[in-house]
C-alpha cells in the first residue's frame, strides 16, 4: 500500500501539504492557549467577554477560510490570474468586510443575551462595540493574510485548498483574541454618549456596506448564501460551549483531558476545511459530481486525511499530557492520552470525511457555491462532534 501511495504523486502531494499545514496549526494552538492565559486577569473588568470569545473566533475563521476556499477555486478554474486586475478580487474584499461587520453586530447581540441569562451584568452597546471594533481591526489583517497564503501557495506550486483553511483558521484565533481584549480596553474608557454615537455610526456603515455589496452579482450571491449559514453557525458557537460543558462537566474527573479539546477541535475543523475546499474546486472544474457513494477521487482524499491523523492526533495527546503535567492537573498517562486522542481523532476524520463530501456536493447540486457554506457548517458541527468523540472514547475505553 505504501508503494502505491507514494507512486501516486497527487496523493503524496496532498499528504505533504496537509500534514505541513495541520502540524503548523497544532503548534500554533499553543500560542492561542498562552494568549488566553496572559489576558485572563483582564476578564475581571468585563467577565461577559468570555461569552463573546468563542463565536468571535469561530466567525473570523468561517468568513476568511471561506474566502480562501473561493480564491483557491478561482485560481484553479482560471477566473483569477495572479498579477491581473479582476473585479472578483474587489467583490470578495467588499463582501468579506460586509460579512465581518454585520456578523460582529449579530454575535455581540447573542453574547449579550447569553451573558444576561447567565446573570452577568453587561450593556448591549459595550459588547456590540467590542465585537465591532475587534471585527474591524482583524478584518484588515485577515484580508491581507488570506490573500498572501492563497497567492503564495499557488505561485509556489502548492494547492491552496490544502493550506488556506488550517492556516487562516489559526490566524483568526491568534489575531482575534488580543484584539478583543484591546477593543474592550478602548470601549471601557469611553463615555456612554460617545459609545452610543459610535454604535449608531457603525450600524449605519454596516447596512450601507451591505447595500452597496449586493449591487454586484458576485457579491450578492456570496452574501445571500453566506449570511443565513453564518447566522446559524454563530448561534451554534455561542451556545455549544455552555451546552457541552454542562453535559460533560459532571463526568470529567481528569482535568488534563480539557487541555486537548481546543487543539482537537481546531484540527478536526481544519481537516473538514481542507476537504471542503478540495471538493469545491473539484466540483467547479468537473472532476467530481454529486453521487450517492463517494467516487475514487474522494476516497483518496479520505485516505490522506486518515494518514495525516496518525501523525497529528498523537501529537495533540502529547501536548495535553505536557500541559497537564506543568499545570499540576490530574492526568492520564502519556500513552493513554495519545491513544484517546488518536482513536477519537480517527473517528472524527471518518465522520468529517463523509460530511464534507455530502455537504459540498449537495450544495453544488442545489446551485449553491460550496465555498460559501461548507466550511462554516463543518467547523460549527465540529464543536459537537469533536467533544462527543473525545470524551466518549475516554469513557468507553474506561481510561479513568
| pLDDT tens, position by position, 64-80 | 888 888 888 888 888 87
- Helix, strand and coil percent figures for the chain, each rounded to 5: 85, 0, 15
Is residue 192 pLDDT above 80, yes or no? Answer: yes
Q: How far apart are CA 348 and CA 13, in angstroms?
A: 23
- CA 283, 288, 289 angle in degrees (round to 5)? 80
Q: pLDDT tens digits, residue range 7-66?
A: 467 677 777 777 777 777 777 766 665 565 566 566 666 777 777 877 887 787 788 888
Among 77-81, 99-103, 107-111, 349-353, the range scoring the smallest mean pLDDT is 77-81
Mean pLDDT, to the nearest integer, of 128-143? 90
Q: Helices (H), strands (E): how many in the chain?
A: 12, 0
Is residue 390 pLDDT above 70, yes or no? Answer: yes
Are 18 and 161 a contacting pair, CB within 8 Å? no
Q: pLDDT tens digits, residue range 201-224?
A: 888 888 887 887 777 777 888 888
The pLDDT mean for the chain works out to 79
Give the contacts of 134 (CB within 8 A, at least 6 positions apart).
Answer: 56, 104, 176, 179, 180, 182, 183
Q: Would the pTM count as exceeding 0.75?
A: no
Grade residue 330 by pLDDT with cuts at 50, 70 and 90.
low
Look at residues 143, 139, 237, 137 and name the one whose alpha carbon lies nearest to residue 187: 137
Mean pLDDT, to the nearest integer, of 82-97? 83
Q: What pLDDT score does 253 carry? A: 53
Q: How far apart are CA 164 and CA 159, in angstroms?
A: 9
The DSSP secondary-structure symbol of 216 reads: S
Is residue 354 pLDDT above 80, yes or no? Answer: yes
Are 177 and 57 a contacting pair, CB within 8 Å? yes
Is residue 349 pLDDT above 90, yes or no? Answer: yes
> 147: which 3 cell numbers?
490573500
Are 375 and 308 a contacting pair, CB within 8 Å? no
Mean pLDDT, to the nearest integer, of 161-173? 77
Q: How far apart are CA 218 and CA 211, in angstroms?
A: 14
Amino acid at each position: 500500500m505504501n508503494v502505491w501511495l507514494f507512486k501516486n504523486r497527487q496523493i503524496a502531494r496532498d499528504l505533504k501539504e496537509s500534514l505541513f499545514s495541520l502540524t503548523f496549526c497544532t503548534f500554533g494552538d499553543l500560542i492561542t492557549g498562552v494568549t488566553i492565559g496572559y489576558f485572563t486577569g483582564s476578564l475581571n473588568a468585563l467577565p461577559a467577554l468570555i461569552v463573546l470569545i468563542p463565536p468571535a473566533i469561530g466567525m473570523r475563521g468561517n468568513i476568511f477560510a471561506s474566502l480562501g476556499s473561493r480564491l483557491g477555486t478561482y485560481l484553479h478554474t482560471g477566473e483569477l490570474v495572479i498579477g491581473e486586475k479582476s473585479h472578483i478580487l474587489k467583490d470578495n474584499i467588499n463582501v468579506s468586510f460586509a460579512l465581518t461587520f454585520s456578523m460582529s453586530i449579530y454575535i455581540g447581540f447573542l453574547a449579550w443575551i447569553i451573558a444576561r441569562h447567565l446573570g452577568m451584568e453587561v450593556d448591549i452597546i459595550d459588547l456590540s462595540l467590542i465585537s465591532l471594533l475587534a471585527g474591524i481591526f482583524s478584518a484588515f489583517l485577515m484580508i491581507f493574510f488570506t490573500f498572501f497564503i492563497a497567492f503564495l501557495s499557488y505561485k509556489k506550486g502548492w494547492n491552496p485548498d490544502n493550506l488556506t483553511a488550517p492556516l487562516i483558521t489559526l490566524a483568526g484565533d491568534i489575531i482575534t483574541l488580543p484584539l478583543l481584549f484591546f477593543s474592550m480596553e478602548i470601549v471601557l474608557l469611553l463615555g456612554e454618549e460617545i459609545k452610543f454615537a459610535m454604535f449608531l455610526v457603525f450600524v449605519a456603515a454596516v447596512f450601507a456596506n451591505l447595500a452597496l455589496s449586493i449591487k454586484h452579482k458576485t457579491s450578492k450571491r456570496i452574501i445571500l448564501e453566506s449570511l443565513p449559514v453564518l447566522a446559524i453557525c454563530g448561534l451554534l458557537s455561542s451556545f455549544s460551549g455552555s451546552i457541552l460543558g454542562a453535559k460533560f462537566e459532571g463526568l470529567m474527573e481528569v482535568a488534563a483531558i480539557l487541555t486537548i479539546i481546543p487543539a482537537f477541535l481546531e484540527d478536526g475543523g481544519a481537516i473538514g476545511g481542507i476537504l471542503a475546499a478540495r471538493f469545491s474546486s473539484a466540483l467547479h472544474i468537473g472532476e467530481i459530481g454529486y453521487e450517492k457513494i463517494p467516487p475514487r477521487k474522494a476516497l483518496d482524499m479520505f485516505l490522506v486525511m486518515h494518514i495525516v491523523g496518525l501523525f497529528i492526533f498523537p501529537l495533540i495527546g502529547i501536548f495535553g499530557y505536557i500541559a497537564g503535567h506543568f499545570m499540576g492537573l490530574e492526568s492520564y498517562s502519556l500513552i493513554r492520552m495519545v491513544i484517546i486522542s488518536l482513536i477519537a481523532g480517527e473517528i472524527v476524520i471518518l465522520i468529517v470525511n463523509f460530511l464534507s463530501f455530502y455537504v459540498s456536493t449537495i450544495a453544488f447540486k442545489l446551485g449553491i457555491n460550496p465555498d460559501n457554506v461548507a466550511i462554516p457548517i463543518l467547523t460549527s458541527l465540529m464543536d459537537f462532534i469533536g467533544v462527543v468523540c473525545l470524551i466518549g472514547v475516554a469513557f468507553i475505553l474506561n481510561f479513568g
